[in-house]
Amino acid sequence: MTLDVDVRAQVGEFRLDARFTLPSGLTVLFGPSGAGKTRLLRLLAGLDTPLEGRIAVEGVPFCDTATRTHLPPHRRGIGMVFQHPYLLPHRSVLANVALASGHDGRAARRARAHELLVSVEADAFADRRPHQLSGGQRQRVALARALAGDPRLLLLDEPFNALDVRVRRQLRHLVRDQVARTGVPTLFVTHDPDEVADLADQVLLADRGTITTITAVDTALRPLDE
């Protein structure tokens, strides 16, 4: 499954120019703060609209300014994990994940939610409320929820920044395992070279609003080693 992007966007004086074709696997979107990484994810998710251009998965457009196509976020089939997981506070962990499932019937949704919680090693606290979880536990639940709808594309926006080093390392390995297991194309945003080294199959570079270059991990990190 491929993601084709060719868009321009403007926010104040900041201009974004993104042109690339994203292959399957885990791609890390790498660049400094303010380079346009989160802005691109908002365009992909349908939270923002470009000035011009087209976004398509397997040739099916999410957005095309030439034809005035703009699918709302809930019709794009995208799973998202943010730095802050925004779980529903009055629902249990199991219910948070089950609500995101596309399966029909309450029993089927809960069974799917439990399966995903097992896969991210979060089933032990399925009956807890979000406020009873640690930061790392909440992000495990957020990842399960993002996968619950069988997404066509998975977007992770610096999801581990607020966590300590040990937990970040554990969750990076968990993300790699989930991407390998599900096969869903994944775009992981970071400015952390360690996350690039641990996660990426390939790297998409962001530099002052220009996002057009896909490269190998060692090439992306080489300037940092010199």
Q: Which H or E run contains 198?
A: helix 193-199
pLDDT value at 145 more than 60: yes
Beta strands in the chain (DSSP E): 3-11, 14-22, 26-30, 52-57, 60-64, 69-70, 78-81, 153-157, 186-190, 202-207, 210-215
Grouping H, G, I as helix, E, B as strand and the rest as coil, residue 25 is: coil
The CATH H-level superfamily of 3-77+151-225 is P-loop containing nucleotide triphosphate hydrolases (3.40.50.300)
Per-domain boundaries in the chain: 3-77+151-225, 88-148
Q: What mean pLDDT, rounded, does the chain reach?
A: 91
Share of the chain above pLDDT 90, in %: 68
Handedness of CA 81, 192, 172, 219 (dihedral sign): positive
Alpha helices in 65-159 (DSSP H): 93-99, 106-119, 135-147
Q: Give the C-alpha separation, 9 to 11, whole Å.
A: 7
Q: Give the C-alpha separation, 176 to 151, whole Å.
A: 16
Looking only at the bridges linking them, the beta strands covering 202-207 and 3-11 are: unpaired
pLDDT value at 51 more than 90: yes
Q: Give the C-alpha separation, 218 to 14, whole Å.
A: 29
Instruction: Report pTM.
Output: 0.90
Handedness of CA 178, 181, 187, 190 (dihedral sign): positive
User: What DSSP designation does 32 have?
Assistant: -
pLDDT per residue over 68-86, tens digit each? 999 999 899 999 998 888 8
